[in-house]
Structure formats: structure tokens, C-alpha cells
Structure 1
């Protein structure tokens, strides 16, 4: 039996096995296989029928057992698991967690489902609707069929808001400009419910604390015209007086060390502090009062509004200092319409220690493990500052790559101090519900690249992080300092430098300092959108002020050194744009474009190696070994005959990726992808012919394609990709497309071209 026949046999065997699901059904029961919905009506357009059919089918219950390629694997697993003898173990897990019990036809109520479909259709403006229901039996299986016959949909002729001069009616009328109910729009009960919620939200911004959507009604007058209605918005007569009253803020009381218990508040009333408009009850003096002035938006005499209410809660939560944040508003005992605001805050443990074992991958195609020991103090100076000291150690290896065997061992320490405010001589407090932060970092890392060299790196930075909104984030480091010093350079690496002098740049001492800024925009968390985007733009300005002050100019021989090391001077820009297009609930097309460029000047002839661009590897061009492509048409493998192949770097980078992602079954997802891109140098390099960027850059693009699996375990995503090149930029011009040379049946071709990538997380 050849492979093709074997596959057919296995498929039909699985199909026959799956069909045997019905033999496990209880006596007299039928397996429910689903329902069909047909929408009829001469006055309803095809587009309306299609939309209505989709909506009607989505509300039908029960849903049949899930299927894949016509099979029902979850039901099959449920049946094969049998009856577990105890409520634990493999069989119990298989039956209850993986398997799915049969959906029986006896669970289907045709008359009830028919009425649900009719009600939904009428609530969508098709008032003259008729519905029918029937069923079909086939052996031990049964399905349902529904026919919904509609008339012409009613549309909105006019929307009428309250006209009287009362405070609440005036407030409701003032919201009409942004009404969800539009003239000539189809009548929809769901739209009316959303409109009531929208009006309530607007009233909450105007001080009507006790109002809610149930105090509104929308009367429908269908007699005004043929297939048209007037919608009349009214405040119900039985609405209580409190709901029609605007409230202002009076007292603002904060309990920053609240614990759940009957006497927790009473026992602290002997320790009261006044700070601006706040009353702070903190007998243990845990926090400086000013942190609440920055976090809470309300001030005395402010009109209550839900935006400030939510922003205050968000800021308290985002401080990262409190385990629980609870808020209450009570009618004040003062004369007038006032509310007292109470904030009950339960702190997290001040100090903690955590041990982490991590699995990780990086852009250089290295996979490894890391052990971190973290000590934290969440209120280091009584201002909700977060002090974290970390010690780490790890090993990284290339599972498949040109540097397999050249493992990397690293250890070091890092200290971070985060203030929940912008530490600045100027008074800065960006608006929004996200706490702006100032972060200072000091770190040291020792990295040993086996058989090559060791590298000591000292890092420090001071900067600001703030979110303009849920979608926009800014990171501005006033200064970011990196000092790198090599050690233990091996004879093997020295030999490589003789053959390729540019490798000497890797082990040069580096001193890099200067400001960096990045802006991030993303709306990918908005699940209902069909198109979502991610963008990150970064600018790195190294040594610019120092170069300007000292007049450094390496081209004239005027190199300036600090601590006996020339400081780097360059500008680097990078843009990362991603687009996600949802095809369905379990499938999408994800695309990415990366464009970056760096320019060295003044005190530097070229950008430091650690700041240059690289391409290829698990998160880049997956059909090519990590950092092996470019620059330009240069072939690094051809000029390096030793086992070690150096990383190729460049001053310019262009990369394009697109990936089709779809759920296969359960936690397994699949992907088909195409990657393209390259890096280039700005200047000629005699050691790297063809590396300079030119107008022919499009002809030097590397292209690869492949497929992969993603195992989504919720706590991590394990990714496997198998890719192969379809365009090699280092081949002679005119021979770079290699589609005609693809031969999966050839062992030499597979060995040379197939690249397996093992990684954690999605590539983008």
C-alpha cells in the first residue's frame, strides 16, 4: 500500500469510527446535527435576508456538537473515554475536559425556537413576520429546519426627545445630537436599548449619579406612515427624585490601609490627616498624602461625573501598590445636593521575593532558559515607589542555525526604581486613567560566547513612561547609557577578524549615551473590529549633545574619548507597523512592515554593532538562518569557511511579513506565511561587496515561505515553523528566484534549504 492509499484508508477509517458515535446514544435518543434557517419574503432584499439569516442562526439553541472536516472528534473522545471509575485521573480528564457529551434531539424545543426567531425578527423591524418549524430524521440523527417569512422592514421617521423644561428632561434632550437612533434607519429594539444606555452614560457625566436606563422609555408609534415609526423618548413618571437630581462632591475620604472586617474603619478614626480637599485616615503613616492628590480626579464642589470616577479608580489600580480598590458614594449630611466619596484601599505586601524559571527565544534564533531572582519593595519611600532588584543567569543555544555549538552563557544583575509620577522640576501630570511613571535603571551583564569571546556590559537609564490612552503609549528616556568591554577573545575569533576585519567592531569597547523616544499605538485589544493595527516608532539619538559641545569629527581625525573610550554618535530610526484582518472568529491574516535606518556622524564612522540592524531567524525571515542574510547581495557564508558564521549587520533594514492564521483543533493553530526583506550598508565596504544600499535594493530582497503550528497553552504559545527560501539575494542577478529548484523529495535540497524554527510566542 503506497502513502496515498494509506492516507485514504486512515481517513475513511476515522470517518467510519466517528460515525459510530450514534451507537453510544441512550435508548430512543437521536443525535442532533444542527439547524437550517431559511428567510423568505418578496419585500425583503437579498442583502437583508443574508444578514437576518446569519443573526437568526447564531441565536438558535442548543448548538450541535463541534465538528472538523465533517467529523466530531470531541464527541468521539467523550465516547471512547467510557465511564471513569473516579473523579480524577486520565480518563476523567479526557472525558470532561477534552471530550464533549452528545447533543440530543430531545433537547430541541421546536416551538420555543420558532418563537425566539419570530421575536428577534419582529424586534428588528419586520413586524408582519410568520415562522415555521420542522425536523428531519436520518437513522439515529435528526436536524431542525426553520422558515421565517418577513414583510417590509419598518424604518424610523422621526425621533422625539422630551420637550418640557424640567432639569432631567433638559439634560436628556441635550444628549440628542449623538443619538444612535437615526432617521430612515431600520427599527431595532437592540438599538433602542443601546440608546437608553447611551443617554444614561451622558447623564452620569452631568451629575445624575442615581439615574439608570430603566428610568427611560421609548414609545413606538407605527401609525404615522406606511412602514415607518416615530420613536418618542420619555423619562418615566415614576422616576424617583434622587435620580432627577444633580449631585456635587463634598468630602473625599481615603483609607489607604483598609482591611476587610467590621472594625477596620472604626479603629482608625483616631488618626486623621487633611491634605487639600482630602481626608486621609492612615494611622500607620504608610503613604505620603500627595500620591492621592495625583491619583484622584475629584475635588470638592466638582459636579459628579463618571469619567473622573473611573479615571480615579484606574489610577489607583495602575499604581501597582494596592491589592483591592473599593469606592463608595454616599449622600452627604450637609445642606444641598452633595455626595461624599470614600476610597478603601488594601495594600499589597510591601516586600516580596520571587524565583522565576523562564524559557525564551530571541531574534538570533537562540533558545534557552533563564533563572531570575527578584526582590521587590512596593512602597520604598512612602510614595508608592516600586524598587526591584534582580539577579539572573541563563544559557542560550541554537537548536538549528549557523552557530550551533557556540552557546551563550550569561549572568548579571539589574536594579529598577519606578516612581508613580513624572519626577521633574516642572509640574507635569498627563491626563488619563493611567499613572505616568518615571523609571531609573542600573544593570550589569557578563556574557560568555563559547569559543569566541566574553563581553561585560554596564547599562543605565532614566526616563518617563506614560499612556495617553488605552491605545497610545510614550516612552522617553532622557538618557540611556551603555558601556561594553570585551574579554577573553579566542584565537578562533582573532582568525575570523583577519579574514573579515568588520568582525573586530563586535569586540571594540563601546560607550553609547543619549536620549531615546518611542511611541506605540495599538487597538488590537478591540476584539470586535475586523481591522486592527499596531505601530511602534523609535528614535535613538546617541552622543549628539556631546558631539556638538566637543566639535568631534572623526573624518578630520578629531575623535573625542571619555574614560579612554570614543563615544558613539549616531541617529537611528525604526518603524514597526502591523495589521490584523479578521476573516472569522478563529482565523485572520496578520501582516508586518519594518523600516529602519541609522546614520553615524561626528565622533563615529559607523553605528556600533549592537545598535545595527539584523535580519533572519525565528521572528524575522524564517526561511533563513538567524542574522545570516545581507547586507545587500553579500554572501557571508561564502567568505567564512570555519564552523562559526558571524552575524551580518547593516545600517538600513526593510522587512515584510504576512501570515494566515487559523485554528485547526482545540489548542492547535496553524499558519501559512511569506517573509521578505534585507539589510544594507550606507557606505561601501571592500570586505563586503554588494552590501551598499542602492536604487537596485528591490532586486536584493530575500523571500521565504513556509507553514507552522502554534500550541496555545494559555500561559504560553509554543510555535514551530518550517520554512524554505524562494529567493536568495546572494545568488547572481537573474538567478535569485529559486522556485523552480524546490524539490521536497530531495534529501540534499531539504538539508540545504528547509529551516526549522522553534520559538515561544507569535513572531508578530
Structure 2
């Protein structure tokens, strides 16, 4: 009751505070606070955000209907300096006493702090948007121009200011737009002076954005100007730019039709005080010069090393430190080819992808030795990054296994290690921690540790016995990576040791596309301390004890609350039940069998010999782009090569009918997954984001289950936020295990992100999904997916979040509530745990998707 009264008092206090604030406190008597804009087009109210974006004044943003920004702004003293001085001198002796008690400098600093705090409030808040007729008239003009850009040349517009009769100094503005009859494109003619331009224009005329009979749109003319400029500059016309493309639209007495004329004049050349013209010409790259070690400091030094390779000329102020082919493979500008503007862009991208040089400087000059005036010399200035880079990270954390842990990692990067623009990355990591669940609970405080390391070598080309240039040309920035890694845990869980090796290719067919092929992806997992299993997976251990007590098992240490000893007695009890030495009901037998199978699965050693292909399309241009989509799909197959070799070689199978490699039963499965992410930027920088994910891994041949490291889990800060990680599913089983995983997953997320105040952001989200077992050795009906009807077991969470944007990362705090819990009985799944006591609190870095 006390807690409930405290919550009620808190919410009442916040509500009274917000509503007691006067939003029009700093609005003049004869002015109005803008509360709403309405646009009526042809007698119909519209909600098109593109049209509303034309308005010069928009109401202050609100959170749950409350203009918090105005309230914070109004808290600030508009004249803090004079207010402080009045307070200081209101009592004749106040300043004297303060100076004597503190000092004159500290009193001055108090005044500066007061002023600074009020300035901060004003900067953090939002000044009230006061209606200004000048800005309204500007909005009217912009609305006319907007619709004129779509062919409504005779648009009429007006406005009305509507005061709020119930609340003082508040008003709404309604805009009335009458578009009239639109204009359509009719005849299309051209005036093109240069023969080569006219020829190129005719060659792609079918791709035009300006089509006879189509309603006039200014965007079509912008797109057509861009299309022609790109075409001409990629066809050798070095001096051409978009200012040369013009249009004339005749709409006088044409019956709402626009007669369009293309106007493209000859090239203009400045010669002193005069300008002459000449037809455009196709330019050719006569020479490509590459300076491999340019810096601003050595720009006036003498070149000491020069190399010619495949028509390229490479220069260096010191001895050339790169093999020529490593550089020229990243250069799309080709000697003796026509000028193409796209080659410069591709070269920028390819040089950046090398991660060897800083952003390059590329320029063109006319070749003075070319008497035709059509030859160009391309100069590329490359500034190498530091050859060696060392990075160190440090972290402190807690988890379900470790009560306290300290982690550290370091990466040593060596560029151009073999003079072919290769990159070698050597990384090491380690951690020490304290765990009460470790095998030796009486050991010292830091009783667990982990250490690991990786080495990755990246080549800026495809390493393959056959030539791949035609299939994967150099403009796709191909690369090959070879990595080796090892990791070892001491007194953590099962003391797992892991070895992994990957041989992969990566290339970018376009600006938004990336392909990655792991030709060989090998992982070996070895568990050294399998006897510690029930110390780690406590839920399974507790359930095992409950079954033993229920059937009256003869414990080694009988007491009022007997417990099975780990590991010998737990193993003995499982064997007694499964082999019939201890009587158990069918339900208890099946549950013990399930616990035993899971124990075997999580303690067995794994050998995964896989190949996979990942296809990604990401339209995001930079980190500030809030309108983008990302589609990724991945296919993986494991164990087929080893299975084929074992079969052909006639290797014998073990007693379970499985082949072994290196003494380990290797995994064999097929896995496929797909993910789609879409972001829409709405008004006031608000964002609506969605994510959809689906994945399935099917064991076959040498396996009847998926390795733990390749399975799926649900819940957590980046998944379904109403459940903790590994705490959701499978199906409607009720997360009865410590770590719940399965081989089939569906995840759906939607999130509305908005600005609360400055860098403080808020969010409302809904997460849905679950995991199931399918086509494997799990037979529990509640955990398996048997058809479309099981989609009713999808778990749904909803909640709110608050984030702070530091610029280079976002700190995120989300509260998730179980909205539909499939673990509950049918009919009791909706909103049964929708309260703070059962909420899940998630802390994360950056957005979940």
C-alpha cells in the first residue's frame, strides 16, 4: 500500500507541475502562441508531411501532448544578470557580508553561475512559437510555389488565424489552397549546339524523365538535368556541367499545356575579359600520375623514386614502399581510356576501402603535349596512414555467471605488411572475475579468467587459383581475409576452449551492396570441465532435485531437504531413471530424459566445418541518414565436405551412427536467415523504425541437433525487451531452463523515436517473436513448431525508452512489459504481468536496430 501511494503521489506531483506551468508566460498580450497548423486543399483537409514542411512556422513539439520544451524555456529568467544584481543590492549590507564571508571574486562567480544556468535553460528549452503574419504570408507563397512545381501554375492560397476561445493567447492557423487546373507536357523540342552532345542526347532519349502527356513536375526537370549531366560526363565531356542544361516552358495560350524546349549551348571559355565558345569534345586520359607518399609538408620536395606499371606512373618522395599492382588495382581511372567522372568516384571509394591511405586528392589537367586539346593528365595524391596502430580497451561488467568482472583487449594493426596493401590485425583479450557458481566456491575473489587472441590478414584482392577479374572487377573493392583465433576459459562454466579459422572473400557490387563468402569457416569447441554442468545450469539442477525428492530417491546425504551431489550423484540419478533402476512416472521419465539430452548437447565437444554466403543491401548514406532500408540474407551449410570424405573413405560410424573427425562428432546442418530494417524520418526529426527477422537451422546426416553456438535465443536489450536474454521460449514452454535456445526464430520489432529535449530522446516500442524447435531431436510439444497454429505462441512486449545521444554513441535505457506471454495458459496471456514489478529493464549502447 505504501509503495502504491508513493507512485500515485509521484505521478500526481509531476502532473500538477506540468499543468501548473504557463506555456504563454512569455507571449506578449497582443500575440498568439501557435497551437496547430491545418492545410485545406481544394476543400479537403490534408496530412501530407511534404506539404506541411513548406510552412515557415510550426507548433512547438510535444511529448504526450505536453510542450515540455516551452516549460523548460519559461523556467529561465529572461534577465538573469539584472535579477541577480537586484537581489544582491536589495539589502544594502548583503553584498558586503557575502564579500567578507566569501570573496569579491566568488560573489561574482555566483552571479555568473546564475546567468549561465538560465542561459542553459533557454538553450535546452524551446522558445514559444509566436504567430507572425509575415511568416504566414511567406508560407502562403511557399505553398503556391510548391504546387506550381507540380504543374498547378494558377494556384490561389489564403489563410485564417483562429484564436482559441477557451485558452488565452493561443491560436491556430488554417491555410486554404485552391490548385486550379494543372498543366501537362505537350510538345518537346531541342536546341543543342555541339554535335557530340546532340549525338549522346539521342542515344539515351528513351530514358528521359520528361514525357509527353505527363503532368508537369519540376522534379522531372531536375532529374533530367542530373541524368544528362551524368551521361555526358561519363562519356568523355570533361568540361560539361549541369549549368549547361536548360529548359524553356511555353504556357501562354496553350490550353493548360506546356511546350518544352531543351537548350544546351556550346562550351564557354573565359579568355581575359572576353568569353568565346566552342563545341564540346570527348577527352581522353593520356596519363595517370600517382604520388604514393604525399603530405603537405613534403609538397615542395623532389621526387626520388619513379616506377611505370601498365601505363600508370608512380612517384615517391622516398623509396617506393608499395608494389605497383597493389596501388593500381584500386585505381579505376585508366590510361588511354575516355574520361569518365564515375571513375573518380570509384577510385575514392576503392582507396578508402584499402584502409591504407587517408582520403585521396584527385585532379585533372589538360596535357600540354596534346595538340588536339582533348588529352588529360590525372594526378592522384595519396597520403599513407600510420603503418602501426595500437588500440587498448578496458571494461568492467556483471552477468548471471560473473558477479564482477574486469575485461581488457588490445589490437595491433600493421598496414602494408608485405608491400601489397595488406593489413594484419593481431588482437588479444582477457578478463578476470569473481563467481560464486564456479567449481571451487572457496577460492580467492578473482577465481575465474578468460584469455583469447585472433590474427587476421586481409589482402585487397581475391586469392584464387583462377582469374576472377571478369566476375569480380576491381571497382567492387574485392578482398580476401584469413583469420585464426583461440579462446580459453578457466573456472568459467564448463571451462570451454575454442579454436576458429575463417577464409573469406568480400566485395561490393554497388554502393549499397556488399557480398561476403566464407569459403571455409571452422570452429572447434572443447569443454574441459563437464562435471561442473549442474553448478552452472542451476534451474536444471533444481528441477532434477525436485523429481528425485518426488519419487523418493535414496540420497547419499538424506536430510529434510536432500540435494543431489554434483557431479557423481546427479549422473547416477539420471542413469537410474533412464535405465529403469529407479521407478519414475512417465512424465518424470520424459523430463529427466530432456534434462539429460540437454546436458549432453551442452557438454559435448563440437566441430563445425561450414561455408556461408551473406548478401547485404544497405541504402544508408551516412550515420546521419534517417531514411534508409537494410536487407540481409545469409545461407550456411556445415559438415557436407567431411560427410562426403568420411563416406568415400569408408570410415566407420560410432555406436550412435555418427562419423567422427579429429575424434569429434562433427556437425552437419543447413541454415538460412533473413533480416529487413526500415527507417522513416517523420516531422520534427522523429523516426519510425521496423525490423523483421527470420531464421532456421536444420540438422541432418551426422547431426540431430544444432550446436549451441549456432542456435537462436530470444529476449534481451536488442531483441524482445519484455524478457531477459535466453529467458523467452521455446514456444509456450515457459523458459524453464537457464539458457533457452532453439533452431527456429521469428522476431518483429517496431519503434517510434522522438526528441524529448535536445540530446534526450524517447521511444515507444513493440517487440514480437519467439523461438521454437523444428526438425531436431526435441519432442516436447510446447517447445516445438508444428504449423501455422503455433504462431499464437509469439510473445509480444511493449514499452518505453529514454536515450541520450552523445554524438558518437547513444546510451539507451528501455523498460519492457510482457504484453502477450505464451507461457501462460490460453485465455490468460494478455496483460497479466503488465506492471512495474514484472517489467524488464534494459541498458544498451546505440539503437537496437
Quickly name the TM-score band, shorter chain normalised.
0.7 to 0.9
C-alpha distance in 1, partners of 2:696/2:434? 28
Conserved? CA contact 2:239–2:267, under 8 Å: no
Cα pair distance change 1:321/1:243, threshold 3 Å: farther
- 5 Å-filtered alignment, 1:394-473, equals 394=431, 410-429=450-469, 430-431=472-473, 433-448=475-490, 450=492, 452-473=493-514
More off after superposition, 246-255 vs 488-497: 488-497
Deviation of 1:516 after TM superposition, in Å, equals 2.9
- 5 Å-filtered alignment, 1:483-522, equals 483-490=524-531, 492-493=534-535, 494-495=566-567, 498=574, 500-501=595-596, 502-522=598-618
Residues 1:91 and 2:105 are matched in the alignment: no
C-alpha distance in 2, partners of 1:135/1:115? 17
In structure 2, the partner of 1:280 is 314
| SS of equivalent to 1:627 | coil
C-alpha distance in 1, partners of 2:319/2:463? 26
2:800 to 705, 708, 732: 708
In structure 1, the partner of 2:184 is 155
Residues 1:532 and 2:568 are matched in the alignment: no
More off after superposition, 175-184 vs 314-323: 175-184
In structure 2, the partner of 1:595 is 695
More off after superposition, 689-698 vs 568-577: 689-698
Deviation of 1:219 after TM superposition, in Å, equals 0.9
1:187 to 208, 216, 227: 216
In structure 2, the partner of 1:248 is 284
Residues 1:738 and 2:738 are matched in the alignment: no
Cα pair distance change 1:375/1:508, threshold 3 Å: same
In structure 2, the partner of 1:640 is none
| SS of equivalent to 1:322 | coil
Conserved? CA contact 1:571–1:599, under 8 Å: yes
Deviation of 1:407 after TM superposition, in Å, equals 11
2:68 to 73, 83, 87: 73
Residues 1:294 and 2:323 are matched in the alignment: no
Residues 1:218 and 2:221 are matched in the alignment: no
1:726 to 820, 833, 849: 820
C-alpha distance in 1, partners of 2:185/2:787? 59
Deviation of 1:556 after TM superposition, in Å, equals 6.6
C-alpha distance in 2, partners of 1:453/1:340? 64
Deviation of 1:253 after TM superposition, in Å, equals 0.3
Unaligned 5+ runs, structure 1: 399-404, 638-644
Cα pair distance change 1:673/1:267, threshold 3 Å: same
- 5 Å-filtered alignment, 1:170-209, equals 170-209=199-238
> Which whole-Å deviations, capped at 9, do the CAs of 1:102-140 have from their partners, x for residues lacking one?
555569455555444444444443333444466567765
Deviation of 1:472 after TM superposition, in Å, equals 2.7
In structure 1, the partner of 2:545 is none
> Which whole-Å deviations, capped at 9, do the CAs of 1:533-562 have from their partners, x for residues lacking one?
522223132352443443446477675544
> Which whole-Å deviations, capped at 9, do the CAs of 1:675-726 have from their partners, x for residues lacking one?
232221534458x676565458717835232213141424134142323263
Unaligned 5+ runs, structure 2: 82-110, 270-276, 436-444, 536-565, 575-591
In structure 2, the partner of 1:389 is 426
| SS of equivalent to 1:453 | coil
Deviation of 1:295 after TM superposition, in Å, equals 0.9
In structure 2, the partner of 1:402 is none
C-alpha distance in 2, partners of 1:366/1:702? 32
Deviation of 1:231 after TM superposition, in Å, equals 0.7
| SS of equivalent to 2:216 | coil
In structure 1, the partner of 2:578 is none
CA RMSD of the aligned region, Å?
Answer: 4.0
In structure 2, the partner of 1:760 is 845
Deviation of 1:143 after TM superposition, in Å, equals 6.5
Aligned length: 726
| SS of equivalent to 1:323 | coil
| SS of equivalent to 2:473 | coil
Larger-gyration structure (1/2) = 2
Deviation of 1:356 after TM superposition, in Å, equals 2.1
| SS of equivalent to 1:21 | coil
Deviation of 1:606 after TM superposition, in Å, equals 4.0
- 5 Å-filtered alignment, 1:255-654, equals 255-261=291-297, 264-282=298-316, 283-333=318-368, 334-336=370-372, 337-357=374-394, 370-394=407-431, 410-429=450-469, 430-431=472-473, 433-448=475-490, 450=492, 452-490=493-531, 492-493=534-535, 494-495=566-567, 498=574, 500-501=595-596, 502-523=598-619, 532-542=629-639, 544-545=641-642, 546-552=645-651, 554=653, 560-563=659-662, 565-580=663-678, 582=680, 584-585=682-683, 586-588=686-688, 590-602=690-702, 604=703, 606-629=705-728, 631=730, 637=736, 645-650=737-742, 652-654=743-745
| SS of equivalent to 1:316 | helix
C-alpha distance in 1, partners of 2:813/2:137? 48
In structure 2, the partner of 1:642 is none
C-alpha distance in 2, partners of 1:309/1:88? 55
TM-score normalised by structure 1 residue count: 0.83
Conserved? CA contact 2:639–2:666, under 8 Å: yes
Cα pair distance change 1:340/1:566, threshold 3 Å: same
C-alpha distance in 1, partners of 2:738/2:847? 26
C-alpha distance in 1, partners of 2:35/2:112? 33
TM-score normalised by structure 2 residue count: 0.75
Cα pair distance change 1:171/1:365, threshold 3 Å: farther
In structure 1, the partner of 2:105 is none
Deviation of 1:326 after TM superposition, in Å, equals 0.8
